[in-house]
Amino acid sequence: MITAGVDVGAATAKTVIVADDEILSYAVMPTGDSVARAAEKVTRAALEQARLTMPDLSFVISTGYGRNSVAFANKAVTEIICHARGVNFLIPAARTVIDVGGQDSKVIGVRENGTVSDFVMNDKCAAGTGRFLEVMAGVLGLAIEEMGPISLTSKEPCTISSTCTIFAETEMVSLRADGRTREDIVAGIHRAVASRVVVMGRTVGYREQVVFTGGVAKNMGVKNALEAGIGLPILIPEEPQIVGALGAALLARRELGVIR
């Protein structure tokens, strides 16, 4: 049986196709201005890679903030549950998931069987999310993917104390005026993001293994700052953006009575 998970986030849409507990294909693309259109487009892209069509799918689960707008989904499931399931499949020893996406961040406690023990989520403020990084990158005239490598060369990371994105932007402009290097400012930005996530997640607690997912997981500067903040090593899946969609595809197999 072939199933699909479709994770429509604020920044990107992801689809994973699964058969017999194996990932057949996946696709990732910007969500754009239409959740419904992005969900269909990314799913068709994943199907094309697997040389399949929509009728080949036995069950589809949607997740993410746009999950209720995926017309072809058989069921919608919260991304918290899907991330726990996806991480458990990829890294069975995982007990904590840190997920930082475009518009929210969350810390999830994961049981041995891949279910959620506890979680906390920030979806009301851009601080501690990918959007915060995008705004700061724009002020510095950097592409978002440049920030990680640049921060790793920092000698003295700046302290950015503002918890509001707008005020942090003003603070960063002041740091530039004071002659602080771009490397130190970017490293400070990463520390600011990480500190917000670390504090938020203390209500859940950090237990090994800790796994970092979401688009921001591709930024080694944030990963290093998180490790320093929680005092534990962090693992990153090969493709951290598809974990929620993978979990949804696996849960779809359970809906069909095919349990891993």
Tell me, what's the pLDDT at 258? 74
Tell me, what's the pLDDT at 190? 93
Tell me, what's the pLDDT at 260? 54
Q: What is the per-residue burial (b if ≥16 Cβ within 10 Å, else e) of 166-184? A: eebbebbeebeeeebbbbb
**pTM (2 d.p.):** 0.92
Please give the full DSSP string across 83-113, using - where no structure is assigned. HHHHHHHH-TT--EEEEE-SS-EEEEEE-TT
Tell me, what's the pLDDT at 259? 63
Q: Mean pLDDT for each consecutive 10-residue tract of the chain (260 residues)?
A: 95 95 96 95 98 97 95 96 98 97 92 97 78 87 91 91 74 84 92 92 96 95 96 97 98 84
